[in-house]
Amino acid sequence: MLAVRPAVPGDWPELWAIMEPVVRAGETYCGDRERDEGAGRPGWLPGPAGPDPTLRVLVAVDDGGAGVGPAPLPANRGGPGSHVANASFLVSADAGGGGVGRALAEYVLQEARRAGYEAMQFNAVVETNVRAVGLWRSLGFDVVGTVPGAFLHPDLGYTGLHIMHRRL
């Protein structure tokens, strides 16, 4: 049984253990592949004085209470763009393909609606990340644009980044 709850500071070691291999692989997330734990934390589990006051972080936990997938849920932009949510998702390698991503995504969409967001937008879904693109499409997201060659995949070279969107 999977549960989703707000992340707490004590979750960080587990969340970093999920995040670090994904960051190092450089196949599905933009950002510095060499970032360390301190540089990774602000967007995934900031302290009370974090850089984004709209940021809520949710975490999927398994039956034993172990974190298997974090999902930050901030506004996509501030001011006049703050009615559109954004989110990021990671699933631990051990839990991949087991429905964690879908369960976490459905929960996050529900939370975004509850928080009053009108829509959700992903600004950078790597087009070769077939599982993520398929999941988002199955949940009603459309690719509203693709930035050609915006992502340097370590094996496939330059590939596009999809911008995906759906109304809530």
pLDDT digits (tens, 9 = 90+) for 135-158: 999 999 999 999 999 999 999 999
Q: Best-predicted range by mean pLDDT among 27-31, 46-50, 98-102, 119-123?
A: 119-123
Instruction: Tell me how crowded residue 157 is: count the other CB atoms within 10 A of its CB.
Output: 9
User: 166: which residues sit within 8 A by CB, 6+ positions away?
Assistant: 119, 120, 139, 140, 141, 142
pTM of the model: 0.88
Coil, helix or strand at residue 87:
coil
Domain 3-167 has CATH 3.10.580.10: no
Of 6, 76, 93, nearest to 46 (Cα)? 6
* Sheet arrangement for strand 157-167: 84-85, 119-126, 157-167, 142-153
